[in-house]
Amino acid sequence: MAGFHTFFGWVAIGLSGAAAALALAFAARGFGLPRWFWWVGGGAVSAMVIQVLAGVYLYQQDERPGSQHMFYGFVILFTLTFGYVYRWQLQKRPALRWGLFLLFVMGLGIRGVMTFGKSF
């Protein structure tokens, strides 16, 4: 499971970055988001949720990744929850707001990978 968490972490980061780049490209051109984007964005969010759940499972199996790594996992989960709660406000300028949101989640994922094994 630790190998899955390591490999799939980069997949989740890549999906978030790709979805963010697509959304920001649409925003730069002044377009709205097409229907198919929600499959890409939903896939990125789902991949991050799977990552957090895999991390929780590993923690229950006595894998200790360091407190900073766990902190960023919880911040990702908190951010995704915030995104869900405020999803209607994100629809006012969806391409820009969802692009920035997913870019932020991608950055948190990268930071989580960088802090593996480190404690506060």
Across 4-22, b (16+ Cβ under 10 Å) vs e yields ebeebbeebbebbbbbbeb
pTM, rounded to two decimals = 0.91
Rounded-to-integer distance, Cα 108 and Cα 110, Å:
5
Domain extents in the chain: 2-114
CB atoms within 10 A of CB 89: 10
Percent of the chain whose predicted confidence (pLDDT) is above 90: 79
In Å, what is the CA distance from 5 to each residue of 22, 36, 42? 25, 27, 19
Percent of the chain residues past pLDDT 70, beyond the cut: 100
Query: Average pLDDT, stretch 84-113?
Result: 93
pLDDT tens-digit readout, 1-59: 778 888 999 999 999 999 999 999 999 999 989 999 999 999 999 999 999 999 999 99
